[in-house]
Each structure stands twice: as structure tokens, then as C-alpha cells.
A and B are shown apart, each in its own frame.
Chain A
Amino acid sequence: MSQTHTPIHGEEETTSTGLNHRKMLMWAFLGSDCMFFGALIATYLVYQGKSLVGPYPIDVFDIPVTSVSTFVLLMSSMSMVLAYAALTKGNMKVFRIWMASTAIMGATFIGFQIYEFSSFSNHHVHIDCMNQSHELTAYEQELYDSGCKDGVDHIDSDSGLKPKTNLFGTTFYTLTGIHGAHVSLGVIWLLSILLLSFKKGVITPEKNLDVDLAALYWHFVDIVWIVIFTVIYLFGVFPGF
């Protein structure tokens, strides 16, 4: 059997397994990225509860807000699936609509993250020393014990969580920041494909590998967020979860 020329494009390659080169590379990359996030999450867990000073997760996390951003990110995975399905059916217009909405939802998630980071870093504690309106967290109790002395009727404390504040800040911002960087890269990737799809013959129902690969990456980044949301946010606020 003689193969007289090397095939040119990804989609046309004949391979030992029948699987495409680039797709296989993507899977290998995702395997590698698993170890990457695994090491980051492990670092977070090793240092969980080891912060010497507050604020702690329960002080800053706002589960309803993060639930909304999580929902948006998960829905973006669905629109990614719909985009790919529309492309393979040859409906370019619907494909572009779903691609754009995936990118917009990704960008929305990043917007939430920016809001979250800034609200965490500007966290403010007000304690009324005379009558407490709610049950104090461990951190607020520390402030109460050290601050509420005779003649003090309330405490206003700038308790912004910064990366250097404590181990929680260090590990939280590193882990979620790097995840955010992954999402941002994904948004740029999706938008690049959207732009390219206006060029004739680059993205077609048959030449859909570029979209397929971006989708794989996008779903992976979503799955990582599910782990982060569960382990860092939910376990952080509901310790007995």
C-alpha cells in the first residue's frame, strides 16, 4: 500500500486510530490541565481553616450571587452545545447566535467575578456592641471581643479580603483568578471563531473541528467551576455539607 502524499488538513488526516490529531492533543491538554487545577485545589484544601486572621470564607461568600453566576456559566455550556449542533446541521445563522450568547454568558461570569473580587476586597464589618442584630461569625466575634469595651457602642472595621490578608485570601484569589483567566481565554477563543465564521469556507458544517475543540475546552472549564463552587464555596459556608 502506497501513500503518495501527506494529507493536508486536520479533517482529512488518516490516522492509526481514526481519531483526529488535534482532538487527541486537546484531550491530552485537558488531562494536563486537570493536574494543574488539581494542584491548585489541593493547595486550597491544605490551607483551609489555617488562616491566622479573618475574614474567613463565611464572612465574605455570598452564595446566592455566586449561584447566579454559576448558573450563567452552566447555561453557557448548553448554548455551546446548541451552537455546535446548529453548525453541523448547516444553520450558520443559529450557530452564530449561540456562539455569541456563549461568549456573552462567559463574559457575564467574568463580570460577576470582578464584582465578587471587588466586594470581597472592600468587605466591611459593622458591629453594634449594644444589641446584635444577627449571630456573629467567628471573625466578627474576634472583632467584638477585642473592640467592644466600655464606652464603645459600635465597631466599623475595614476587613477587606486581599491576597496578602491571610491564607484564605492567598489561595482563594489564586485558584479562582486562574480559573477566571481560563474563562477569559475561552471567551477570546469563542469570539475569534465567531469572527472567522464570517470568512467564507473557514468554519463550515464539515470543517467544524475548530468549534468542536473550543467546545471541549469550554465544557472542561465549566466542570472545573462546578468543583470549585462545591468545594470552596458550598463547603466553605456549610461546613457540615
Chain B
Amino acid sequence: MSTFPISIPRPTNPTGVWNWITTIDHKKIGIMYGITAFILFISGGIEATLMRIQLAGPELDIVSAAIYNQLFTMHGTTMIFLAIMPLGAAFFNFLIPLQIGARDVAFPRLNAFSYWTFLAGALMLKLSWIGGATDAGWFGYAPLTSIDQNPGTGIDFWIISLQILGIASLAAAFNFIVTIINLRAPGMTWMRLPLFTWMSFITAILLVLAFPIITVALIELTLDRYFAFNFFSVANGGSVVLWQHLFWVFGHPEVYILILPAMGIVSEVLPVFSKKPLFGYATVVLAGAIIAFMGWMVWSHHMFTVGLGPVANSVFTITTMLIAVPTGIKVFNWIGTIWGGSIKLNTPMLFSLGFIAMFLIGGLSGVMHAVSAHDAQQQDTYFVPAHIHYVLFGGAIMAIMSGIYYWFPKYSGKMFNEREGKLHFWLMIIGQNLTFFPMHFVGLDGMPRRIYTYAEGMGWDLWNGISTLGVFILIAGFLVMINNLGRHWRNGPIAPADPWDARTLEWSIPSPPPEYNFKEIPIVKALDDWWITKQENPEKVASIDEGSVGYSDGNHGIHMPQASYWPLVVSVGILIAAYGVVFNNFIMPWFLAGIGLIISFIGVYSWSLEPVNDPDESSSH
């Protein structure tokens, strides 16, 4: 079938870079997500380091106030949208098809589109440092973002790149929802689904429902800035509080979008290294679903000091305290899992245990400012960054590190160095507590967040100095990690299929998995099916590595979806259009935006008319 409207020969068995650019293999896309997000994580870390250096002592003058504002805004936006979310997406991509016994995701080309669009949004946001980045805080409160207060292009870049990242996240979320519902192997019933897949499913539903709300908020802000609409214009009766509501109705589910995948990772790691099934599997699943549901009822706890009144504040205090219950259930289940197990304290396990401890501290400070009266004392002080960093760094990042080490043999096919892994863990746990714990003290002591410097003699000097010292320990930890994993990805010892004696299906295939994942789609008989299979036939493990199952000889007539250019073309069109919105007077009004839209349109048409497999390439046609 000829492709319309323009015809480009389809990439057939591309090599080198083109292999990665045109790939629609979920494992490769997962690895690209992971590496890109890790680089962006480092960039967000550099922004944080500059801020900590500026705050190391009183009245330092290393960065200006204007740059400092850009630093904290970009740091927050980067870490949330460009680091933790896509690191989660990396795991979704790599693991979900493997865990449910599928050959790929439901829409492989849409998956490639998600990655390229994410990359477009990321590039756009980070490149906005040239010419002045956004400086209104990561939640961009009106009227700091209005055209009068903030005429530069920084805010425009922030708005448009968040919209693009939203498209990428939504496309990915649709894809994973359909994949998990529809591509489960025979016998993989809902209550046999691995916990990580469960949490990913819940996260995808949250994404689908929460992202449209920030999309609307950003559209309104765009119309205000570009066409003088009145949404957030107080002079014309607009309300700046509306922005806060829209932002946090999205923003609080977003918190669970960040933490649920982390909880999923920990729920995979703990049972494996405790040699016990997850304690109360059904309860952990249900607690995750309840967290996601209740996550919609707590948004105004971000706005306790706005003046919504005692009734609203009381209601949101109660709902916020209630959401600690399902979270607590999970923590108890994790403790129940390791209780009495034969615990193996290796790197992934240490990180998961560290997660529980750090997340618990963040959870407790969360319950503290769930009390609206108490929160009035903490609002906009360093106590809040202390909380969010215990939850998102001590929580999400620790769990992601656990996952990076735990699945390293699977995605790289090599083993990492255990001693260096443990060193990374200890540097990280010491570094983060030195960095973030003192923020509780200076916060309760009244140090406001987002200030670029502070006077001497406030009693904040020592604690700020310690915080900055902690950052350098963290940096040392990450250098150890990069060295360890980078070196061993190339030259490490070959990993067996199932180095950890694990429980889920991804460990029943070789490391790294072949392109088609499973030669035969497994038939699932129980929760932790691979573990049970091993108990029944212990010789089965050895046979994968010896190749007698026959995974390595050709691809057995398994037809995988073919590579495609079109997802990339659509993403490039979106990137051009996005720049066209920011520079809307380049050559002629809306010139670039129009060009970008036309490219995307051609891409969408050609994509939808391109068969998943070309008939002449496929014997089944």
C-alpha cells in the first residue's frame, strides 16, 4: 500500500543510530527514556547544586537573585516533569510488556512518539536557559506569570514545553492502559498482575485524568499572555486563586503519579530479597487504588493560607490525614514482607529499605502540615522543601535507584559491582539526610523558601552550611553510580537470566531479552508465576541460560511490528510548532507554528495510513 500523502521507503533493518531513531521496540524506547531522563536528572541536580552553593553561607553573591529565581523554578520543573516522571516511564516501557507476558506494547509507534515528544519538550524547556528561563516557581502562580509582570519568553517556553510534555505523557498513558488491559498473557488475571504493573496502571489512569486539567490551565494562561484574555487578570475581575485550584487539582494527583511507580518498584524488590511473597498483595493493590482515588480530594491542602475559610481548611485537613491511612497500610505490608524473611542486603534491597525509612520521614512531616493550623506556620518556609525532598528524593528517587540496580542485569545483560553499589547507597543516604534534614530546622526557625540569600545571625548559617556539604556527598554518590553502571554495562560479567532468584515473568527470559521477548507466550497459573514454575521444575532456570529453550536461534517466524519514521516526524512537527508559538513573529505572524502543524499533519496522516507491518514483508498476508 502506497503511503499518502508522501511516500518515504520504510526503514528496513536500520543499523547504528538509525536503528535507535526509528525503533519501536519497547525495550529500546525504555532505555532511551531512562538515559535521557538520567541526563536531565543530572541537569536538575546541577541547578540544585548552584542554589546550595549560593546558600552555603549568609550574604553570598555567587548567583544573582534573578538567576536564583530561574534556578529554583527550573530545578523543580526539571525534577518533576523531566526526571522523575520519565524515569518512571522508562520502567513502564521496559517492564510492563515483560511482566505481563507480551511481545510489545499495544501501540508500538505511539510509544516511539511519546519518547520523541518528551524529548522535544525537554529540549525546549532546558534550552530556554538561553535568553532567560522561567522564574515564577514550578507551580507558576498567577500573577507572577502574567505578561505585565513577566514579559520575557521564559514563561512562554515553560508553558509550551509543559503542554508538549503533557501530550507525551498522555500518549504514553493511553498506551499503557490498553497494554495492561489487553495484552496480558493467558491466565494473567488482575490479581496475578505484578505489583509494579498494577501501580503503573493506576498511575496511567491518574495521568489520563489529571493532565487535561493542567492543559486547560496552561491554555488559559497562554490566552491571557498572547491575546489579553482576562482569566487571571484581577483588574478585570479574574481570580488568581483559580490558577491555584486548577494547578493543584492536577498537582496533587501528580504527586501520586510520581510516587506510585516508586511504590511499585519497592513492592517488587522487597519480596525477592526477603524470599517471601509480598505480604497482603491484595491490600497493597487496594491501598494503591485508594491513594489514587483520594488523591483527588486533597488538593486544597496546598492552599491552606490562601483564605478559603475554616470549613474548606477543615475538610481538606481531614481528607489529607485520611490519605495517610492507605499509605501507612503499604508501609506495614512492606515491613510484613521482610519480617521473618531470609533477607539479602544487596544494593537494590538497601535502596528499597532506604526508601521506606526516608519516605516515612517525609510522610510524617506531611501529616504535620496536613493540619491546617500547623501548616500556617510552615507555609513557604524551608520545612516544605524538606518534606517534598524526603518524599520525592528520599522516596521516589531512592526507589528508582533501587529499580535501576535491580533490573540492571535484565536491561544491560551484565552484572554491576556490588561493593560500589553499596558505597553509592551509603553516600546517598548520608548525603540526603545531611542535605534535607537541616531544612526542617531552618524552616521551623522561619527561613523562607525561594530566597536567594539571608542575613547573618539568623541562626541559619550552620544548618545551611551542612545542607550544602550534603550535596557534595550526594554528587560523590552519583559519580560512583555512573562509574559503576557505565563501566559494567560495557565490560561487566555476563548476567544470567535470573540472577536474583526472582518471582516475575521478566526473569524467565534471557538477559537482555530478545526483540520478541517471549518465544512462546507464557501461560500464567498463579501470582508470582515464575517463582512457582521454578519450585516445580528447578532445572528450568538453567535451561534458559544454556539456550536449550531455544530463544537465541533466529526469530522463529515471530513478526514484530516494523520500525517507522512517522512518530519522529510528528514529534519534530510539534517541536517546530512549539517554537513557532514562542517566536510567533518570525518571518511572518505564526509562520513557524503553521509549518510545524503542517509537518505534524502530514506525519499523522502517513502514520495512520501506514500498516503496522508492510504486507510484502509479512508472510501472514
Contacts and interface: CB of A to CB of B under 8 A. Distances in A.
Interface in A2-40: 2-6, 8-9, 13, 15-17, 19, 21, 24-25, 28-29, 31-33, 35-36, 38-40
B209 A32 contact: yes
Interface string B188-213: 10000000000000000000111111
Interface in A171-220: 171, 174, 178, 192
Question: How big is chain B's contact interface, by range?
Answer: 35 or more
B216 A39 contact: yes
Nearest to B227: A163
A216 B103 CA distance: 29
A200 to B, nearest CB: 11
B28 interface: no
A35 B213 contact: yes
B520 A52 contact: no
Interface residues of A, number: 42
A170 interface: yes
B558 interface: yes
B26 interface: no
A3 B521 contact: yes
A130 interface: no
A47 B237 contact: yes
Interface stretch (B49-57, B174-182, B401-409, B426-434): B174-182
A17 B212 contact: no
B230 A164 contact: yes
Given A19-B182, A43-B220, A25 B107 contact: yes
B184 A4 contact: no
Nearest to B110: A25
B620 interface: yes
Given A5-B557, A17-B182, A21-B106, A164 B229 contact: yes
Contact of A2 (B107, B182, B520): B520
A39 B212 CA distance: 8
B227 A17 contact: no
A28 B178 contact: yes
A208 to B, nearest CB: 16
A29 B110 CA distance: 14
Contact of A39 (B230, B246, B613): B246
A86 interface: no
Given A2-B521, A8-B613, A174-B219, A28 B177 contact: yes
A226 B290 CA distance: 33
A52 to B, nearest CB: 4
B228 interface: yes
Nearest to A29: B174
Given A16-B188, A170-B231, A174-B220, A4 B558 contact: yes
Contacts of A163: 223, 227-230
Contacts of B613: 8
Contacts of B557: 4-5
Interface in B128-184: 170, 173-175, 177-178, 181-184
A46 B242 contact: yes
A51 interface: yes
Contact of A9 (B104, B212, B558, B612): B612
A16 B209 contact: no
Interface string A49-89: 01110000000000000000000000000000000000000
A121 interface: no
Tell me which of B106, B236, B242, B620 has the highest count of chain A C-beta atoms within 10 A of its own C-beta.
Answer: B236
Nearest to B217: A39
A152 interface: no
A1 B613 CA distance: 24
B209 A6 contact: no
Contacts of B229: 163-164, 170, 174
Interface in B223-252: 223, 227-231, 236-239, 242, 246, 249
A36 B212 contact: yes
A148 to B, nearest CB: 26
Contacts of A29: 174
B490 interface: no
A167 interface: yes
A40 B238 CA distance: 15
A36 B212 CA distance: 5
B106 to A, nearest CB: 4
Contacts of A33: 212
A16 B237 contact: no
Nearest to B204: A28
Interface of A: 1-6, 8-9, 13, 15-17, 19, 21, 24-25, 28-29, 31-33, 35-36, 38-40, 43, 46-47, 50-52, 163-164, 166-167, 169-171, 174, 178, 192
Given A1-B523, A8-B621, 20 more contacts: A1-B186, A2-B521, A8-B612, A16-B182, A19-B181, A24-B177, A24-B181, A28-B178, A32-B170, A39-B217, A39-B249, A43-B231, A46-B242, A47-B237, A47-B238, A50-B239, A164-B236, A166-B230, A170-B223, A170-B231
Q: Across chains A and B, which 7 residue pairs bring their CB atoms closest together, nearest first?
A: A36-B212, A39-B216, A15-B182, A35-B212, A16-B184, A170-B230, A21-B106
26 contacts: A1-B521, A5-B558, A5-B559, A6-B558, A8-B611, A8-B613, A8-B621, A21-B107, A24-B177, A28-B178, A31-B208, A32-B209, A32-B212, A33-B212, A36-B212, A36-B215, A43-B220, A43-B246, A47-B238, A47-B239, A164-B229, A166-B237, A167-B236, A167-B238, A174-B223, A174-B231
Interface of B: 103-104, 106-107, 170, 173-175, 177-178, 181-184, 186, 188, 208-213, 215-217, 219-220, 223, 227-231, 236-239, 242, 246, 249, 520-521, 523, 556-561, 605, 611-613, 618, 620-621
